[in-house]
Structure 1
Amino acid sequence: MQSATTKAGVSAKDAWYPASKRDIFILKELVSKDFKLKYRRSALGVVWSVLNPLLMMLVMAAVFGSFMRYNDPTLGNYAVYLILGNTAFQLMNDATSQGMGSIIGASSLLKKVKINRYVFPVEKALFAGVNYLFSLIAIAIVMLVEQVPLGVTALLLPFGILMLLFFSIGLSLLLSALSVFFRDVMHLWSVVLTAWTYATPLFYPFAILPGWMQTLERFNPMYVYVTYVRDVVLYQTVPSVGMHVACVAFAAVSLLLGMVVFKKNQHKFILFI
């Protein structure tokens, strides 16, 4: 009797092999497909990738900058402060939320075609990265309107975003594997993201937190990545060596954990999807 993995067209030997040209081609095609599906029947199309962060920034700036008085001068320009934090956090949010259900969503394909399973959660993270690139236009517009200059330190932005993307890929691999066996993970993760949003200084200043919470923020990966992005773009300062190490460490741990859990359990996916 054939095993479940053999029925699916994927042997144990082929279950996890390095990325090949075929995998890269599949990733490109899937990203392209998701991009087209997202803006299908939309009058403005890709413009929404620019409008969404702008509109969110305007709403949050009105609420927190005026009503709650979070326009602390130490934050620098509050509109830029907001949009830099929100777009960076949204990258992780989109990558993990979409990547989490990627294996389940591709169940019919996995049962018929021999394909590396990791392609699906990785593709969702890459698609979130593509959307982030469009949000850079929104950031540029806000900086232009607010007359915030762009310094040479902005050249370090790709490093911070790349580390954030690796961190998000690791989480996507982990969550996509767990959600195959425990569907409750999908519901729980939405709660975790909500809590994580408020636990990260996205719309409020870090300084208002009590001392013990400021200490805990050092262990919050999204605080590290958001702070890095703001430092190089808004404050035009070069982050410390410790900040660079933290960015790499969080990305490495997330990626390693996600890969280990995914690789260990992927041969059983076919039995549960």
Structure 2
Amino acid sequence: MVRRRHPGLAAAAWLGAATVSLCMAVAGCQAMTAHPDDRIAPPIAACRAEDEVGAPNPNAPGGWNLVRSGSIDVLCLTGTLEAVRVADVAAALRRRPGSLAIVVRSTGGPVPVWLGLAEHLVGRVGLLVVDDACMSSCANYMVPLADTVLATPDSLVVWHGGPVGSVGAIERQGIDDIGTIVAYDELARRTDALYGRLGLDTAILEVSAEPPEGGKLRRTIAALGRQHDAPRTVGGYAFAPARLARCFGFRNVERMWHAGDDVAVARLTGQRVPGLIILESPGDRSAPAGGPRPTC
């Protein structure tokens, strides 16, 4: 076992106040009702066994473990990974060649860390298991890697934009410092190269940064009966597996648990973080503003 943890994994309720700053949202389809896949529990148990609190807070700094579950190596990624050195994880992975599973429980974190890990993991991930949450950088860089993605019931897998090399993306970030623009452009080029290797469309990183179309948010809030206390902006999108496949080329999410339509996802999110709205998608489209918009 390789173990690297950052202090501060308190057993507090997950998705605390810091998570409200994440852009997220949920909507779209019917909840998946298939029986839980028997591949989910063993790697989660192996990862949780190495944490004193058993189910660490995905919004804490967190860290990583490399453990065994039966005959399989499992990389456990918990929290934001803000103190993780990619070189340390890469060195451990070199000592354990071959296919592995990953268990994630994270609200996201620094793009350079998650992207750096993904670049070392291409071609090695047979199974990704989402233990309750995979958001932001976690969704951007871990979900694309695996042959199969599975998730525990009531999990949230949420996108809210990412580094892509368009003028519109840079404008949305509000970047005006040349040094920051250069750094952002480097991350965008690496992200584009990663998605290209995996046969995926980086449009997901632009679409998920857009506001919802028309009255989508208003209708969802009305359906929830929260007109007087609901936020007026969307934090991101928990795209349904069918939309991920049809619009962005994901071929590994067919069996991933998903809450359902906008109302179902927003209701689940509200149970976790009152005051946060997540939808399934901004609208029926597969390309960012200004580009072609085939129906999806």
TM, length-normalised to structure 1: 0.24
Q: Who wins on radius of gyration, i.e. which is larger?
A: 1
Q: Which has a greater percent of helix?
A: 1
Q: Higher strand share goes to which structure? A: 2
Whose RCO is larger (CA < 8 A, sep 6+)? 1
